[in-house]
Structure 1
Amino acid sequence: MKLPKAIWFGFSCIAIVVMLIIFLTPWTALTTGHIGLIMLALIVVAIMLGFPTAFTLMGMGVIFTFLAYILQAPEMTGKALNQTLTLMVQRTYATMTNDALISIPLFVFMGYLVERANLIEKLFRSLHLALARLPGALAIATLVTCAIFATATGIVGAVVTLMGLLAMPAMLKSGYSVKLTAGVITAGGCLGILIPPSVLLIVYGATTGTSVVKLYAGALLPGIGLAVLYAAYVMIVAKIWPDMAPPLSAKEREVALPAGSEAIKSQGYTLAATGLLSNFFKGPKNPAVTRQYMNRNALAVMLPLLITAFLSLVIYRVATEPKEVFEIPAELQLSSNLSGGGSGLAEPPSGLAEPPSSEPAAASVAAKEAAPAAAQEPAKGDATVERLPVPTGYWIYLGIAALIMLVFYVTLTWARLEVFKMLMGSFFPLAVLIGAVLGSIGFGLATPSEAAAMGALGGALLALAYGRLNLNVLKESTFLTAKTSAMVCWLFVGSSIFSAAFALLGGQKIIEDWVLSLGLTSLEFMLLAQILIFILGWPLEWTEIIVIFMPIFVPLLAQFNIDPLFFGLLVALNLQTAFLSPPVAMAAFYLKGVSPPHVTLNQIFLGMLPFMGIQILAIFLLYMFPAIGLWLPEVLYK
């Protein structure tokens, strides 16, 4: 019986790890630190053999913690056992009371609800039509859909699987190359690893003690930038090799118009705005143009202008709001002559004096009390109060917004109006949900846990609005959320116990001493760490890499003056690359499971390689220009 290549690869990796243990362990001068390193290697072997990660970590952690205590005092077995069990309880309790983990089940629940709201099909169709004139329109629509859906769910397997069912048949039917199709879907589906609200970033923040809020702010621009690089590559390929990404035919770009739009268009109005205005004021000349049709379409046409005007007003008021100056009243200020110029406070005068009874004196006191308030706060209704000068940036924004509105209405044909309405029913609800969740976190209005709760409620309301919220959907979403959350939480418990055992045995100290003895620069250490993480990304899941190996790397960052926030962004990009790198690219297996029979795993792997190269380029750009990831956190959280 011939074994599959994947199994041979797995056995080969296990054999390499076992041989490294045998040949690199100094058996004649074995210390507890070396036992810790053996434990680390055995964990990797056990996980590759298919043992449950969380319980393997816990089991190994408990066994080796007991071993660490018994080696310190061989004659006190009972005490070692008691210390081991106490440590296990303490680590479990500390993990379960970690506030950062509360947001994981809420974000996961939001993702499953959005997935079942059936928005992705409408979103893909509307984006497909909206981007029809771009080279590689179907592929770019797939990338944008993946990015939005990955942002809403953060679940890589769900995005790749659903887009494989939805976009792959449409792209192959339109003549797209199998390799390009597979690369676009797998690369777009993995964007959820990096783009907030990424569960990976929450796990990294909870493991390393890094602010999840800052991680979200830092990952936003690199995630969007990576999606833009993907889209640019697709457009270049479509221009140079049109046979790999054929342009859409006129029939595929055609949009069916309702009877009212056809009636107004037949009157000679090619633009939707002018046609609706004419019929609104002069009255409809065709029975197909009903009042309900007019109101619905007029609202759709005016909505961008109303939103732009509202945002402009809000920005104007914020930008020109007079700054409040708080003055401390004279009677509350500490006098420099207290106690004859000493540093202490003077004793209050003995006895209680009667308050003055004269009205002029009382009026004088009242006037003094009112003076600071009058200086700080102008009287209500005072028209002479001037706002701050309008910043130049506001006028630039206003000019750009006006230009965009002009272009929008000048190019808003009836077909584009229908596409815009489709986007309003699919893209904008998700955009509002994502913007509300990430905006509340980014501007400090809510913690990640509070924003996740708001997102879960928003996901439920979306599913309800689209008629998809029922008892079965709630049961499925709740079950899958509980399953995913339990896995992550038990991984944390196992990792915490394992890390304690590793530290007790001295494995962390050996690694730190070895790395520092190499005399590496910050760049060399960064390269070494990222290469190791990339290699570990082949046999291991990102959860295992974060919870097992990040506690080893992070203590070394201070020695090389590396920001844990910046390191976390590089790790997220790196692990996203590992998801696309053969031979153990999980995204490829997700897609293969829903692909047509003629699509082979090798074709999927070959299609993923260019996108993996783009990710390596993105890692290089992020390292060379750290401001890509650090600028937004610095602006928001000075």
Structure 2
Amino acid sequence: MAELMPLLLVLAVGVVLLLGYPVALSLGGTALVIALVGEWFGYFDHAFIEALPNRVYGVMTNGTLIAVPLFVFMGVMLERSRVAENLLDTMALLFGPMRGGLGISVTLVGMLLAASTGIVGATVVTMGLLTLPTMLRRHYDPSVAAGTICASGTLGQIIPPSIVLVLLGDVLSSAYQQAQLDMGIFSPDTVSVGDLFIGALIPGLMLVAGYIIYMIGVAIFRPQAVPAIPVGERPRHDARFWLRVLQVLLPPLVLIVAVLGSILYGVATPTEAASVGAVGAMLLAAVHRQLGLDTLLAVVRQTTIVTSMVFLIFIGAAIFSLVFRGFGGDELVTEFLSDLPGGTVGAVALVMLVLFLLGFILDFIEITFVVVPIVGPVLLAMGLDPVWLGVMIAINLQTSFLTPPFGFALFYLRGVAPPELSTGEIYRGVAPFILIQLLMLATLALFPGLATWLPGQVYQ
């Protein structure tokens, strides 16, 4: 019976979630109830209950997680400063004269917004409102237009500064330390968020290149699906036009360089860089005359809501993982993954498959806080590079925003799309981009240096 308690815990949490209760309360509340039942029957180690206050206190005093509200603040402030609107208008004029140009513009703007805001919902909604009507009016295939907007909006999950990388950095750091303790190694080494930021740069840019190559392929083989802007409506690319391009591109590029550059050159930690980004976002809003007391209050209010949600889920997940370990669930997972055919390769393949399938029904935050703490120590104890593993998980989690029926990017676009764009067209549109992301995942699995080479060069 004792061996079944971890499975009972997971099953109970799943049932409570299906009943519609909030994720954070479902994780923490169900875990505590099952722990009390287990302790009543002598199946649960009381020492884990005594460690619970320290675990929760550790979450609330974690310095790394201060970056979360700061990056959220930066993203929400930039959303209100009209940076995205100016970028989209200018890029559309720059690339519109070529077939697929509007799609390429959306991808590049998604990349720039990812590197300066990192908030998927705001990016998808903004691009959906501003570019989807234009793309449909230009006779773009509805599924291609919808898929491009959804996929480009999710780039904030992998291109730093990414909130998911901040959360993964903290979770994997704990998992790495636990793996070392399990192996009898006492080392102060951890997995820093900066390592993950640097490691995700090359895969993130390769993913952008994959999106653009797909759009070029559509332009070649299905030119009627992505037509160019008519000749009579194309702007003159004179000195005034290029000055406008420079004025629109320079401010977000300066912000990106200030945030990521300070991390790459070791001038600031990710948390300190997040504060630089928050101040920079306010300066950009002031330049665009969008910074007022009402705007500041609205941004702070939205930041508080998002941050509270993240931390509440984090606390609930910490309780869940503590109870899961108290029932010996980590030992069951270790035995199961170690006995798989193929050894480490088989274990990684299975975990990635499970994460991908969970993305159909769960948000990336729940997956990060619930699944990764369970499987992370086991995989890291097998000798995997923590930066490579973190980037692999981040790309995998990015697909959770695109996979129906609960892909959040699909919901965001559906909410702002015109009625003539059907949900089926949105689903068909994101399918090629999901395949591109899975191909990127396979490429990273075959060539781990894509994630590990740059951090090694930076910290030499």
- Note whether the superposition's TM-score is higher than 0.5: yes
* Alignment correspondent of 1:443: 265
Residue aligned with 1:243, SS = helix
Query: After the TM superposition, which residues 253-268 of structure 1 pair with which residues of structure 2 at under 5 Å, given as runs?
Result: 253-255=234-236
CA contact (8 A) 2:48 2:323 kept: no
CA contact (8 A) 1:441 1:447 kept: yes
Shift of 1:90: 1.6
Shift of 1:488: 1.1
* Alignment correspondent of 1:577: 399
Query: 2:71 is matched with which residue: 104, 107, 116?
Result: 107
1:495 aligns with 2:317: yes
1:564 aligns with 2:386: yes
CA contact (8 A) 1:154 1:197 kept: yes
CA contact (8 A) 1:557 1:564 kept: no
Alpha-carbon separation, structure 1, partners of 2:135 and 2:371? 40
Alpha-carbon separation, structure 2, partners of 1:599 and 1:200? 30
CA contact (8 A) 2:143 2:425 kept: yes
Shift of 1:66: 2.9
Query: 1:180-220 CA deviation, whole Å, 9 max, x = no partner?
Result: 10010001001111110110011111112121100000111
CA contact (8 A) 1:66 1:84 kept: no
After alignment, is 110-119 or 128-137 more displaced?
128-137
What is the percentage of aligned positions where both structures have the same residue? 36
1:233 aligns with 2:203: no
Query: After the TM superposition, which residues 110-125 of structure 1 pair with which residues of structure 2 at under 5 Å, given as runs?
Result: 110-125=74-89
1:137 aligns with 2:107: no
CA contact (8 A) 1:122 1:422 kept: no
Alpha-carbon separation, structure 1, partners of 2:195 and 2:12? 35
Shift of 1:514: 2.0
Query: 1:133-159 CA deviation, whole Å, 9 max, x = no partner?
Result: 443111111111111112211111111
Query: After the TM superposition, which residues 53-72 of structure 1 pair with which residues of structure 2 at under 5 Å, given as runs?
Result: 53-72=23-42
Shift of 1:559: 4.1
Query: 1:287-312 CA deviation, whole Å, 9 max, x = no partner?
Result: xxxxxxxxxxxxxxxxxxxxxxxxxx
After alignment, is 530-539 or 59-68 more displaced?
59-68
1:539 aligns with 2:345: no
* Alignment correspondent of 2:182: none
Alpha-carbon separation, structure 2, partners of 1:163 and 1:511? 42
* Alignment correspondent of 1:97: 61
* Alignment correspondent of 1:36: 6
TM-score of the aligned structures, taking structure 2 as reference length: 0.93
Query: 2:157 is matched with which residue: 193, 196, 199?
Result: 193
Shift of 1:100: 1.0
1:628 aligns with 2:453: no
1:597 aligns with 2:404: no
Alpha-carbon separation, structure 1, partners of 2:244 and 2:15? 51
Residue 607 of structure 1 aligns to which amino acid in structure 2? G
* Alignment correspondent of 2:179: none
Residue 58 of structure 2 aligns to which amino acid in structure 1? A
Residue 125 of structure 2 aligns to which amino acid in structure 1? T
Query: 1:304-347 CA deviation, whole Å, 9 max, x = no partner?
Result: xxxxxxxxxxxxxxxxxxxxxxxxxxxxxxxxxxxxxxxxxxxx
Alpha-carbon separation, structure 1, partners of 2:138 and 2:385? 47
Query: 1:587 is matched with which residue: 409, 420, 423?
Result: 409
Query: After the TM superposition, which residues 192-591 of structure 1 pair with which residues of structure 2 at under 5 Å, given as runs?
Result: 192-209=156-173, 210-255=191-236, 415-591=237-413
CA contact (8 A) 2:5 2:38 kept: no
Query: 1:432-477 CA deviation, whole Å, 9 max, x = no partner?
Result: 1011101101111001111000100000000001000011111111
Residue 198 of structure 2 aligns to which amino acid in structure 1? A
Q: Which has the larger radius of gyration?
A: 1
Shift of 1:524: 1.4
1:618 aligns with 2:444: no
Shift of 1:245: 0.5
How many residue pairs match? The answer is 443
Alpha-carbon separation, structure 2, partners of 1:132 and 1:604? 22
CA contact (8 A) 2:43 2:327 kept: no
Shift of 1:85: 6.4
TM-score of the aligned structures, taking structure 1 as reference length: 0.67
CA contact (8 A) 1:221 1:628 kept: yes
Shift of 1:558: 3.3
Alpha-carbon separation, structure 1, partners of 2:453 and 2:43? 52
Query: 1:126 is matched with which residue: 90, 93, 97?
Result: 90
CA contact (8 A) 1:68 1:501 kept: no
Structure 1 pair 201–48 and aligned structure 2 pair: CA distance change class (3 A): farther
Structure 1 pair 506–430 and aligned structure 2 pair: CA distance change class (3 A): same
Residue aligned with 2:224, SS = coil
CA contact (8 A) 2:98 2:229 kept: no
Alpha-carbon separation, structure 1, partners of 2:17 and 2:250? 42
Shift of 1:84: 7.1
Residue aligned with 1:72, SS = coil
Residue aligned with 1:418, SS = helix
Residue aligned with 2:225, SS = coil
CA contact (8 A) 1:129 1:419 kept: no
Residue 251 of structure 1 aligns to which amino acid in structure 2? G
CA contact (8 A) 2:97 2:230 kept: no
Unmatched 5+ stretches in structure 2: 174-190
Alpha-carbon separation, structure 2, partners of 1:626 and 1:417? 44
Query: 1:46 is matched with which residue: 16, 19, 27?
Result: 16
Alpha-carbon separation, structure 2, partners of 1:418 and 1:607? 36
Unmatched 5+ stretches in structure 1: 1-29, 256-414
CA contact (8 A) 2:361 2:405 kept: no
Query: 1:70-96 CA deviation, whole Å, 9 max, x = no partner?
Result: 34399xxxx96xx67643322211111
* Alignment correspondent of 1:179: 143
Residue 527 of structure 1 aligns to which amino acid in structure 2? A
* Alignment correspondent of 1:153: 117
Shift of 1:561: 2.1
CA contact (8 A) 1:65 1:501 kept: yes
